[in-house]
Amino acid sequence: MRKLMILGALGAAAYAFARWWRRNRRAGTQFVNRIVNPWLDRRGLITGSRGELALVEHVGRRTGTVRRTPIHPMETADGYRIIVPVGEQSEWARNVLAAGHCRLVIGERVLDLDRPVLETPSEVPGLPGPVCALFEWLGFRYLRLHNAVGAAPAVEEPVGLPVPELEAVPA
């Protein structure tokens, strides 16, 4: 009986947190963007993750500065798909959508990606039904990006070599 009560309490806590999350998706993003992300980048934890983590380089919509955001990319037949937990409120996803392109730094490779599309979990093939329903309810989205070269493998350039600059969005 005690285990059942504990499970019920954990379930209620998880439900309460999920409801809170739906109303406050951007809670904690400033801390992550200003402290955690730069720390991960400086320590080399992203480039050393062997593709599990990557950096998306994008141009700020308002500032025009190039930003680097750690993400978890999933390779698709013609590019990559990236989960966006804060959905339409994600600043980096909005930057990529506004610019229409970005760069993905995976380990020592740099890939140019374009044609970004924000998808709902129900549009993602192969996502199990319960996971899809939960992600929909929480407001998660997926950003689908295509290789800039088309369906062929993207042009890869080792990090550290001169790479053409991303163009800033006109003010």
pLDDT tens for each residue of 93-102: 999 999 999 9
Quickly tell me which residue has 């163009």 as its tokens.
167
Q: In a 3-state reduction of DSSP, which class is residue 121? A: helix
Average pLDDT, the chain: 80
Give the confidence band of 57 by pLDDT, cuts at 50, 70, 90. very high
pLDDT in tens, 102-146: 999 888 888 999 999 999 999 999 889 999 998 988 889 999 999
Q: How far apart are CA 17 and CA 15, in angstroms?
A: 5
Calculate Rg over the CA atoms of the chain.
Answer: 18
Q: How far apart are CA 131 and CA 68, in angstroms?
A: 28
pLDDT at position 167 is 55
For residue 152, pLDDT over 70 is answered with no
Backbone angles phi, psi at 18, to 5 degrees: -65, -40
pLDDT at position 150 is 46
pLDDT at position 166 is 56
